[in-house]
Structure 1
Amino acid sequence: MKTKNLTTLLQIATPSVETIIQPDWAAKHGITLTVKRDDLLHPVISGNKWRKLKYALLAAIEANTKHIISFGGGFSNHLHALGFCCQQLNIQFTAIIRGDYSQNPSPMLQDLLNWNANIQYVDRKTYQQRAEPDYLKMLQQQYPSALLIPEGGSQLEALQGVAEIVEELSHSYDYVLAPVASGGTLAGLITGISKYLEPIDCKILGIAVLKGEGYLEQLVTDLLVKHDHSKSWQINHDYHFGGYAKSNDNLAEFCRDFFQQTGIKIEPVYSGKLFFALRELINKGYFPQKSRILALHTGGLQGAR
């Protein structure tokens, strides 16, 4: 199946738009702030989840894959998007879930059940093995014909899909910002800017949404197997609010205010932390006056359900 055919079949609205927003905290510093609205690609398969899954799904279709297995938490945007894709493409889907939600499924898990996914709940110790060769070998022996997709969809195939975000850009930017959890989106942006732009003219800043200084950098570096892009990007670790899916009243209030000012929905797990960090960094003078900043809205609002 060709890329265009898959995009049409799943009704993905690419390219996503670039929208200039003017919240009071950006305008007073002379910053031009644009949002790449990947959250509008599709009502279910939104944002970076589609970008990271696109070429893996194409390869699965070409190989006549009948079963896909992947990993995530009870509110995983990745599993939600992948489960919907598998349902639409008539591919059996198994979701390996961190923690036991069997007595109280989250809205995301209820959707997976409605899409006839097979859900396996595992304890945290087992889940920690999700990238270990022995555990993956065991799964492959248990399901010999299945395709295993990593947590968050972050694999080498993901980089090509995410890099297309940069190819779509209709303007030049001094900074590109995105949230960071499994590393695939940031690695794809780094790849795209290296391929389609002059890297020295555009700095890439990831905002960590979980505790992982050093760990997140290693995830990104491991995906960047072909080139050394060490000078073109960095990750800020000051705005994870205590860890993955951790939040507080300040962040929740910010998400509400941001929606009121811009009309753009964000949530406290990924996009909320990105834009909160952006406000704080702008107010601290991190970006030079008149900087042109692009913030990638990676979609996925499961954290707000």
Structure 2
Amino acid sequence: MIKPIMANPQLLFSSEKQVSIQNIDDHIFRSNNVFVSILREDLLHKEVSGNKFRKLKYNLIEAQEQRKDTLLTYGGAFSNHIAATAKAGQICGFKTIGIIRGEELGIDLTKTLQQNATLRLAYDCGMRFYFVSRSDYRLKNSTSFRESLKQKFGDFYEIPEGGTNHLAVKGCAEILNENTAEYDYIMCPVGTGGTIAGLIEGSLSHQKVIGFPALKGEFLSSEIENFTSKNNWELNKNYHFEGYAKVNSDLIAFINSFKKARNIQLDPIYTGKMMYGLTDLISNAFFSENTRILAVHTGGLQGISGINYRLKKSGKSTIKV
């Protein structure tokens, strides 16, 4: 007898709406005769926002079609993907399991949840955590590690770290549509490469996609090439600020100034670095006059609290929210 499954992705994705495009007025942009707009993907959903909404869409539909009632995925302590998967699972009726990098976080879970808003959100949404050492986490794609998870948790639908797979790319391709056809360049932050791969797939022949990696490393290009055969894209690796979740006073000041001037919140891990890099490129005449640029706001705002916690501990200025 086939067991009934109550999970229903439509409880979340039926609310999908057309997001707004906001024009950005800036003296640097005006003086270089460049037009910049921001696609407000961050407004898709409060907790399952931006690219996470897009990446999860077809994965959750596939999980339902496979009659799975449990989602299992991976991430660090401040992962947007972990938080979004937990919330999406709660809304749609899936049980969720998070394989979390850092076994020390599980020693005193109560203390961890008090200090970490990301894991607290996921926990409150019903996610079950399995904390592993960083050395074991690096083995997460091995057959032995996955077999151990099956023995421990039973049957589940697996979603990769960051949510990137071919179904995620399919969802991210839907970010672009007839309303974005007029733009010459599409800008986006890059984590695991799924979002930019989707944007490349959804882009038109006259458009070029530029990604701003949030972390160091030369592996991203090959990861992106796994999901697209198009060549109308490039990665600008000059604005990662020394690595994933690394920030400095210049970036914090830029994010705060941007918010004050335009009432648009950027996050310090992804969108802040993208907009900082884009502004710097324009100020150095990287783009031809009359170029139309669309920057994709991929959400991720829940991660601000984790960065601010670290900044406060070190006595540094924080991000205003």
TM-score, normalising length: structure 2:
0.86
Are residue 77 (structure 1) and residue 80 (structure 2) matched? yes
The CA deviation at 1:143 is: 3.0
Query: Does the aligned pair in 2 maintain the 1:267–1:303 contact within 8 Å?
Result: yes
Aligned match of 1:31: 34
Are residue 217 (structure 1) and residue 227 (structure 2) matched? no
Aligned match of 1:234: 234
Aligned match of 1:202: 207
Query: Does the aligned pair in 2 maintain the 1:67–1:145 contact within 8 Å?
Result: yes
SS at match of 1:34: strand
SS at match of 2:77: coil
C-alpha offsets along residues 175-219 of structure 1, whole Å, 9 cap, x if unaligned? 1010011010011111111xxx22xx111100010001x211111
Please give the alpha-carbon distance, in whole angstroms, between the structure 1 residues aligned to 2:211 and 2:168: 17
Of the candidates 148, 158, 165, which is equivalent to residue 155 of structure 1? 165
Identity %: 35
C-alpha offsets along residues 134-170 of structure 1, whole Å, 9 cap, x if unaligned? 3223323433410110011100101111011112534
Please give the alpha-carbon distance, in whole angstroms, between the structure 2 residues aligned to 1:33 and 1:203: 14
SS at match of 1:223: coil
Query: Does the aligned pair in 1 maintain the 2:9–2:92 contact within 8 Å?
Result: no
The CA deviation at 1:115 is: 1.5
Query: Does the aligned pair in 2 maintain the 1:131–1:150 contact within 8 Å?
Result: no
Are residue 137 (structure 1) and residue 140 (structure 2) matched? no
Quickly say closer, same or farther: Cα 1:294–1:91, change in 2 above 3 A: same
SS at match of 2:295: strand
Aligned match of 1:287: 287
5+ unaligned residues in a row in structure 1: which ranges?
A: none
Aligned match of 1:146: 156
SS at match of 1:166: coil
Query: Does the aligned pair in 1 maintain the 2:118–2:303 contact within 8 Å?
Result: no
Please give the alpha-carbon distance, in whole angstroms, between the structure 1 residues aligned to 2:36 and 2:43: 18
Query: Does the aligned pair in 1 maintain the 2:185–2:292 contact within 8 Å?
Result: yes
Instruction: Show the 5 A alignment for 1:1-305.
Output: 6=9, 9=12, 12-99=15-102, 100-101=104-105, 102=109, 103-105=111-113, 106-167=116-177, 169-193=179-203, 197-198=204-205, 201-212=206-217, 214-224=218-228, 228-229=229-230, 231-305=231-305
Query: Does the aligned pair in 1 maintain the 2:75–2:81 contact within 8 Å?
Result: yes
Please give the alpha-carbon distance, in whole angstroms, between the structure 2 residues aligned to 1:220 and 1:137: 27
SS at match of 2:42: helix
Please give the alpha-carbon distance, in whole angstroms, between the structure 1 residues aligned to 2:10 and 2:266: 25
Quickly say closer, same or farther: Cα 1:70–1:8, change in 2 above 3 A: closer
The CA deviation at 1:32 is: 0.7
Query: Does the aligned pair in 2 maintain the 1:10–1:88 contact within 8 Å?
Result: no
C-alpha offsets along residues 221-242 of structure 1, whole Å, 9 cap, x if unaligned? 1223xxx21x311111111001
SS at match of 1:165: coil
The CA deviation at 1:87 is: 1.0
Greater Cα shift, 35-44 or 122-131: 122-131
TM-score, normalising length: structure 1:
0.91
Q: How many residue pairs get matched?
A: 291
Please give the alpha-carbon distance, in whole angstroms, between the structure 2 residues aligned to 1:109 and 1:59: 25
Quickly say closer, same or farther: Cα 1:185–1:6, change in 2 above 3 A: same
Quickly say closer, same or farther: Cα 1:169–1:273, change in 2 above 3 A: same
| Cα RMSD, aligned residues only | 1.6
Query: Match for 1:261: what amino acid?
Result: A
Please give the alpha-carbon distance, in whole angstroms, between the structure 2 residues aligned to 1:154 and 1:63: 19
Please give the alpha-carbon distance, in whole angstroms, between the structure 1 residues aligned to 2:74 and 2:192: 12
Quickly say closer, same or farther: Cα 1:264–1:223, change in 2 above 3 A: same
5+ unaligned residues in a row in structure 2: which ranges?
A: 1-7, 306-321
SS at match of 1:97: strand
C-alpha offsets along residues 11-57 of structure 1, whole Å, 9 cap, x if unaligned? 64421111111122222211110111000001111000000110001
Please give the alpha-carbon distance, in whole angstroms, between the structure 2 residues aligned to 1:286 and 1:134: 48
